């Protein structure tokens, strides 16, 4: 629209002006009100900006952020305090080989075993948890050999095998060289069962069927000058008796032919119950 010298209004682009006015009217109706400014002019209360172009980098979702690393898995624990069984025996036997454990094996993951594992871990730069995880076990396997049966049962605790047929009747001290155990049996029933130790290859324990011919509560060997408490003689100078050496060293030692018992309470019970003339069977 243009105002000329004569005061008359001249219009150009009539269609466009009409469209703008119509849009403004429509917006006024939709908003329902206008804002009265301090200069007396009326203004629309709504300011609309139509965005153009791509969104700013600040508002754009990140697409180049590296994925977070997965949490490290906790070490797999194979055995720990309170566990029992044959595997714990092997762990203890291997710890004995590298001089981290001196007792046992007992088959019980006790405080001594936990302390030994922790010491072994610390020496090798592993986390000192006292629990045997896969990394600890793998390192121990590389440093040790496979333990034999009597490494696993150094201090006894091995299961007894089936009694010999000659042990199933009467009163019998039934002694197995295979399982290194003694059963005190009465009419086929096992009353007491204990681990035992035999003579070395140079002084072997005799095998066969014998009888108890003499009992000596506080016997001392005249040949070896050694104590033989609760001795029950069955073949010459060979007897079943308590051995403090067996109790201390286990199968790391041997007798001079006698049948050694490491459990003093059990041998005391048998000594009180066994009579002269009772049968003794030493078998494989």
Active site residues: 241, 258
Q: Return the closest-CA partner of residue 162 out of 139, 179, 144, 140.
A: 179
Residues 280 and 210: beta-carbon distance below 8 Å: yes
Residues 182 and 240: beta-carbon distance below 8 Å: yes
| Inter-helix orientation angle 111-123/86-97, to 10° | 50
Please state the separation of Cα 37 from the chain's center in Å: 82
Q: CA-CA distances (angstroms) from residue 61 to 52, 77, 129?
A: 18, 42, 44
Other CB atoms within 10 Å distance of the CB of residue 135: 14
Q: Return the closest-CA partner of residue 282 out of 228, 235, 237.
A: 235
Q: CA-CA distances (angstroms) from residue 166 to 91, 141, 145, 171, 270?
A: 38, 43, 39, 10, 19
Residues 66 and 50: beta-carbon distance below 8 Å: no
């Amino acid at each position: 629209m243009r105002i000329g010298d004569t005061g008359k209004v001249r219009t150009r682009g009539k269609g466009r002006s009409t469209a703008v006015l119509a849009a403004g009217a429509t917006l006024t109706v939709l908003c329902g009100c206008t804002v009265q400014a301090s200069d007396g002019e009326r203004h629309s209360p709504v300011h609309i900006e139509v965005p153009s172009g791509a969104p700013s980098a600040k508002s754009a979702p990140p697409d180049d952020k590296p994925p977070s690393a997965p949490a490290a898995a906790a070490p797999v624990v194979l055995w720990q305090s309170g566990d029992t069984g044959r595997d714990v025996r092997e762990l203890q036997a291997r710890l004995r080989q590298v001089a981290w454990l001196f007792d046992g094996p007992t088959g019980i993951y006790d405080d001594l075993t936990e302390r030994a594992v922790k010491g072994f871990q610390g020496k090798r730069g592993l986390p000192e948890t006292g629990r045997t995880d896969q990394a600890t076990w793998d390192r121990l396997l590389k440093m040790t050999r496979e333990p034999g049966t009597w490494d696993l049962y150094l201090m006894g605790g091995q299961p007894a095998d089936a009694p010999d047929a000659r042990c199933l009747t009467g009163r019998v001290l039934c002694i197995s060289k295979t399982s290194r155990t003694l059963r005190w049996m009465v009419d086929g029933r096992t009353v007491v069962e204990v681990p035992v130790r035999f003579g070395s290859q140079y002084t072997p324990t005799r095998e066969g069927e014998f009888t108890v011919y003499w009992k000596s509560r506080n016997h001392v060997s005249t040949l070896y000058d050694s104590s033989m408490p609760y001795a029950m003689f069955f073949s010459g100078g060979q007897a079943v008796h308590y051995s403090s050496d067996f109790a201390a060293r286990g199968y790391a030692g041997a007798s001079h032919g006698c049948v050694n018992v490491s459990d003093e309470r059990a041998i005391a019970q048998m000594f009180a119950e066994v009579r002269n003339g009772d049968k003794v069977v030493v078998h494989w």
